[in-house]
Structure 1
Amino acid sequence: MRVPNDATGPISVSRTRLPSSTLWRYAIGSLGTGGFATLPGLVLVYYLTDTLGVTAIVAGLILTIAKVWDVLIDPVIGGKSDFSLAATGSRRRYMVVGGIALPVFFVLTFSVVPGLPATASAVWVVIAFMLCATAFSLFQVPYIALPAELTRRYDERTRLLTWRVVVLTVAILLFGAGGPLLRDLVPQNPYLGYLIMAVAAGVVLCVGMIVSSSVAPRDVPSPETRPTASLVQNYHGGIRALVRSQPFRALLATYMLQGLATGIMLAGAQYVATWVLHSETAVTLLFVALIAPALLLTPVWGGIAKRIGKESGFWFASIIFMIAAGSLVMLMWSPGWWVFVPVAVAGAAYAGMQSLPMAMLPDVISHDAARHGEGRAGVFGGLWTAGETAGMAFGATALTIVLTVTGYQESVGTELVTQSDAAVSGIVLSFSIVPACVMLLSLVPLARYRLRKADIED
């Protein structure tokens, strides 16, 4: 059915059960979003410090610059996406452009010429990664806005986002485990190894995003609706959305903090494998331990949400993850393969931490539209993407601060270095106690989220 949507024009919103084709075409986009969120978060800092010879603090600064840029452009892209919907009847154009551009810039990020000074390498990476962030936002922002436009039903959104997270966990496993394996095919030439990894990953990113862009509704825009918005108006729309929607503020703050926690652990996994478990390839096993339970249990979290509510299930998952992460501090005194048990428990909880807030976001968007008479799904999607990417990126930045404080030694190419006991302890703490404390902090805004099923269905 067609529903007027004020500033964003008419959109198609279904009250019926979504067809399977819509589910899988939307979900496959997470091959792109999950892949891009996982692989740079896992290997980019390590690439900078242990191949390009960039110091840990500068590596963190590179990620911070790229993600601050991301935060700045996401609300603008969100506003432009809303107006594109009104003017053309679809958000598809932005998604296609992002899906084509991201793989190109991703390969460029990991194509630094061997022998360049560390400073030149750092400049190369920061420019290429900022272009990556721009292309990613062009796809991700409208992609996040789509669930609110594909269905009005509370439980149907849970079903849609559950399958998205199933594909997301597959993407995390594929990129998180497969990426380092491809990189290590040529251990004698890490520059070539990273390039092989980036090319293979770029192909998968492109396929997932281009296919998923086909799910964006195509409506005929009203002839009289051709809105435009200035840069200031786009930012004003984002600020207004934050001010007027308390459920969105609570959900976004929770998700940002949890992104920070998981970002620290993600960036630290390669360091744990190398310097604590003394096996660079152990990072692949860590990802299998994390993602296999998540892949199996994502549909279970959907069932839990139907029984006790999305927000209660989100609480449950967050607490389990926090306990599992905190227990990893035992690596300080007893490093060993037992680490895969708490990592697997964290993986089971991580499935809920991803699927449930993503299913809660379209509820927040539709609730806001019902109260204020205008749909700004693109603006909310832009703010959400900014918060998500900022949380993950600042997690990697937090890791580089810990590495710097504890005296981590960078290296170039295949150069061998030795890390101090303090540096190794810093790696363990950044993989355990630090993310556990951030997870505990995330429960504060989660307690302020008060939107329930009755609010949505009414």
Structure 2
Amino acid sequence: MSGSSPVSPPALGRRVLVGYGMGSVATGIFGTVPGLVLLYYLTDVLGVAAAVAGLMVALPKVWDVVLNPWIGSLSDRTRHRWGPRRPWMLLGAVLTPIGFAAIFAAPPIPPGGAAAYVAILFLFTATGYSCFQVPYVALPAEMTADPDERAKVNSCRVAILAVAILLSGALAPMLAGATGDSDGTPAGYRLMGIVMGALLLAGALIAVAATAGAPSVLRTTSEPSLPAQLRAARGNRPFAWLLAMFVVQALAAGLMLAGAQYYATYILDNPSAVSVLFAFLILPLLLAMPMWLAASRRAGKRKATFAASLCFLSGALIAAFGRDVPAAAVYAGVALAGVGYAGIQMLPLSMLGDTIAADAFTTRRRRAGVFTGLWTAGETLGLAVGPGLYGLILALSGFVSSDADHRVAQPDSALTGIVIGFGAVPVLLVGLSLLLLARYDLTEERLIALRDAHGEPPMSAPAGDLT
């Protein structure tokens, strides 16, 4: 009740923290592997032209920009004994691995048919993934009203996400090349799709099971329609600026993911170096995450995100000169980017939870689903447009596609395009994201003031009792 002394929200148990975080095995694999290998799979294994391949990778995930807010709205209004989120998570946990394995099992058909096959299967898989990801990201804002506890939830999630990205980013190219050439064969990609799909299934199912009976601190009412919720999200200025910043950074990450295999193959002249690049990116992420968590508590999440973004920008800048500097300098730059990547993965998610909590404190409505639906739609858009834009850069620079049995030498202009897409364009995008971040003004002090002014939501409501 307004005016009463605030009660410290209860801490979440280790089972919920770790179990929820295991869902990041699924999100890490799906967020990393297609962005890392799918464009290359199309252009250098199936022989699809670079511009067409980029379009086929981008369009199915652009569909999620429309789908994710709708899934969020549906989950907000779901009434089920498992609560509003977990039924959708289970549906996505089943559909996504099936589609994922099928994407990389393209039959021996001409390039045009292969492009259509991949696009249709990717559309199916992205739809299943939305069913899991949107309600999954909504859960932290509903499991605790404490900003520090929410940061702990997301730091656990990002720690497991880092491991998932590291393992999937290193293992997927190795599996793709396990049956022949180091940069992949059709049989190797089929094997990779099955193994990654099985890991994705396991992580998603663990998250569904572990969050059963988790506390729900928001006994609120949901908006009656998706348009009403979208209007509400549009009116949340901190959320709007945070989302814009995150989309631009996701676009930069999508470009670097899409370009990693090309960069390793044609700039470092070592196709298997893509696994080394990933190791240099993700291992610093694991070590730096506690540093960013401590920095956010000392200086605030916004300032810490500024610092993390600058680290990421500096590393990408070094990679932009990959044709002129030794490989060791490139790896050092990627490691520096990894330090920043830890912060830009973890901190915006905690800030997202803050914007959702601020909305719930002031409106007493359950709108986490639509906020996270828009958030994941934005992330999906950035990660989808990244490979599409990279494919366009390759096409404009004269890149020549080939199949797994016939490798061709690339013109000098294509090598320049590979470096521009992997380093220079991400630098510009991260610089733009800093201008957007400067407009975000929901500080920790302001959030606590809102909580104290409007009163805590009722605590410890059973997950299925939200109304």
Q: TM-score range, shorter-chain basis?
A: over 0.9
Q: Which runs of 5+ in 1 are unaligned?
A: 4-12
Counterpart mapping for 1:426-437 below 5 A: 426-437=417-428
Matches within 5 A, 1:245-324: 245-324=236-315
Q: How far, CA to CA, are the matches of 1:441 and 1:414 in structure 2?
A: 41
Structure 2 contact 223–367 (Cα < 8 Å) conserved: no
- AA paired with 1:313? A
The whole-number CA distance in structure 2 between the counterparts of 1:190 and 1:337 is 29
Q: 1:271 to 1:15 in 2, by over 3 A?
A: same
Matching of residue 201 in structure 1 with residue 192 in structure 2: no
How far apart are the structure 1 equivalents of 2:347 and 2:116? 38
| Counterpart position of 2:137 | 144
Query: 2:89 corresponds to which residue?
Result: 95
Alignment of 1:57-96 (within 5 A): 57-85=51-79, 89-96=83-90
Alpha-carbon offset, residue 226 of structure 1: 11
Whether the 8 Å contact between 1:51 and 1:191 is mirrored in structure 2 is yes
1:350-395: CA deviation from partner (whole Å, max 9, x where unpaired): 0001100011111100101122221200111110110011111111
1:28 equivalent in structure 2: 22
Q: 2:120 aligns with which of 121, 127, 147?
A: 127
**Residues 153 and 409 of structure 1: CA distance in aligned 2, closer, same or farther (over 3 Å):** same
| 3-state SS, counterpart of residue 78 of structure 2 | helix
Per-residue CA deviation, residues 407-427 of structure 1 (Å, 9 max, x unaligned), is 000012221101000000110
**Alignment partner, residue 180 of structure 1:** 173
Counterpart of 1:113 in structure 2 is 107
Q: TM-score, normalised by structure 1?
A: 0.92
Distance, in Å, in 2 between the alignment partners of 1:192 and 1:87 is 43
1:329-358 deviation digits (Å, cap 9, x = unpaired): 221323523211010010011000110001
**C-alpha displacement at 1:456, in angstroms?**
1.8
User: Residue 410 of structure 2 aligns to a residue in which SS?
Assistant: coil
SS in structure 1 opposite 2:9? coil
- Displacement of 1:215: 3.8
Partner amino acid for 2:31? A
Deviation at 1:14, TM superposition (A): 8.6
Q: TM-score, normalised by structure 2?
A: 0.90
Tell me the residue number matched to 2:453: none
C-alpha change, 1:168 and 1:237, in structure 2 (3 Å) is farther
Q: CA 1:412–1:14 in structure 2 vs 1: closer, same or farther (change >3 Å)?
A: farther
Alignment partners' CA distance in 1, 2:354 and 2:304: 15
Q: What one-letter code is carried by the residue in structure 2 that aligns with 1:436?
A: V
Letter in 2 for 1:135: G
Check conservation: 2:19, 2:211, Cα contact below 8 A.
no
Instruction: List per-residue Cα deviations over 1:104-155 (Å, max 9, x = no partner).
Output: 00011111012x0111101100000001100100000000000011111011
C-alpha contact (below 8 Å) 1:82/1:379 kept by paired residues:
yes
Secondary structure of 1:331's counterpart equals: coil
C-alpha deviation, 1:187, in angstroms: 1.7
Amino acid corresponding to residue 285 of structure 2 in structure 1: A
Q: How far is 1:68 from its partner?
A: 1.6
How big is the alpha-carbon RMSD for the aligned residues of Structure 1 and Structure 2? 2.1
Q: Distance in 1 between matches of 2:335 and 2:239?
A: 30
Alpha-carbon distance between aligned partners in 1 of 2:417 and 2:222, rounded to the nearest angstrom: 52
Q: How far apart, CA to CA, are the structure 2 residues paired with 1:206 and 1:86?
A: 22
For the 8 Å contact 1:366–1:375, the answer to whether it is kept is no
User: In the alignment, is the contact (CA less than 8 A) between 1:79 and 1:378 conserved in 2?
Assistant: yes
8 A Cα contact 1:87 1:226, kept in partner: no
Q: Quote the offset at 1:428 in angstroms.
A: 0.8
Shift of 1:156: 0.8
Q: What is the CA–CA distance in structure 2 between the aligned matches of 1:220 and 1:167, rounded to whole Å?
A: 22
Q: Does 1:397 align with 2:388?
A: yes
Alignment of 1:328-343 (within 5 A): 328-343=319-334
Change (3 A) 1:17 1:185: same
Q: Give how far 1:241 is off.
A: 3.0
Question: Is the 2:300–2:444 contact (alpha carbons within 8 Å) kept by the matching residues of 1?
Answer: yes
Q: 8 Å contact 2:62–2:384 — kept in the other structure?
A: no
**In 2 relative to 1, CA 172–14 (structure 1 residues): closer, same or farther, beyond 3 Å?**
farther
Task: Report SS of the residue matched to 1:410.
Answer: coil
Contact 2:93 2:204 in 1 (8 A): yes
Moved more, 296-305 or 36-45: 296-305
Letter in 1 for 2:40: Y
Checking the alignment, whether the CA contact within 8 Å between 2:221 and 2:366 is kept in structure 1 is: no
Q: Which runs of 5+ in 2 are unaligned?
A: 2-6, 450-467
Cα offset, 1:216, TM superposition: 3.6
Segment drifting more, 80-89 vs 212-221: 212-221
Q: What letter matches 2:409 in structure 1? A: T
Query: One-letter code of the match for 1:201?
Result: M
Question: Match for residue 37 of structure 1?
Answer: 31
Q: Using the alignment, how far apart are the partners of 2:311 and 2:190 within structure 1?
A: 37
SS state at 1:101 partner:
helix
Contact 1:365 1:377 in 2 (8 A): yes
CA separation in 2, counterparts of 1:219 and 1:27? 13
Residues 88 and 220 in structure 1, CA contact (< 8 A), matched pair in contact too: no
Residue 316 of structure 2 corresponds to residue 325 of structure 1: yes
Identity of aligned residues (%): 42
Note if contact 2:82-2:212 (Cα within 8 Å) is conserved in structure 1: no
Aligned length: 439
